[in-house]
Amino acid sequence: MVRGLNKVMIIGHLGRDPELRYTPSGRPVASFSVATTRTWTNSNGERQEETEWFNVVAWGGLAEVCKQHLRKGQQVYIEGRLQTRGWEGADGKKHYRTELVAQEMIILGSPPQGGSEATVSDDKGLASDEEFPF
């Protein structure tokens, strides 16, 4: 049997505070954005910089921890998988969004209220197939 692999690891800074919501069944889900920046020197010797933004979604206990401990500007390590979901807008057009579904989060650098680095994993390591509340 041939197996696939969908694993993403990023280190970046939060673009906004996590937003916590609940599914109709009461399961917590947090969403936030993380920016990663890479730099290089082009063929003319000029320094170039590019920022990539990731939409991150965390479920269950990990979602609650993200909401409680993460703040805009903070550096984090996020590990998970990519998922693209689609929906039809009120205008009848199809929309798509690719998200990093977090399975592990490590706070890097200085936490907002002092203390040490923290590592948190998704309670089951799998995201729910429940419909997003947003």
Can you give the residue ranges of every domain in the chain?
A: 8-37+47-121
d(CA 83, CA 99) in angstroms, rounded, equals 5
pLDDT in tens, 17-37: 999 999 999 999 999 999 999
DSSP character string of 51-91? EEEEEEEEEHHHHHHHHHH--TT-EEEEEEEEEEEEEE-TT
Summarize the confidence of residues 99-114 as an average pLDDT.
82
Q: What does the pLDDT read at residue 121?
A: 56
The pTM for the full model equals 0.77
Instruction: Give 33-84 pLDDT, tens digit per residue.
Output: 999 999 999 999 999 999 999 999 999 999 999 999 999 999 999 999 999 9
CATH topology of domain 8-37+47-121: OB fold (Dihydrolipoamide Acetyltransferase, E2P) (2.40.50)
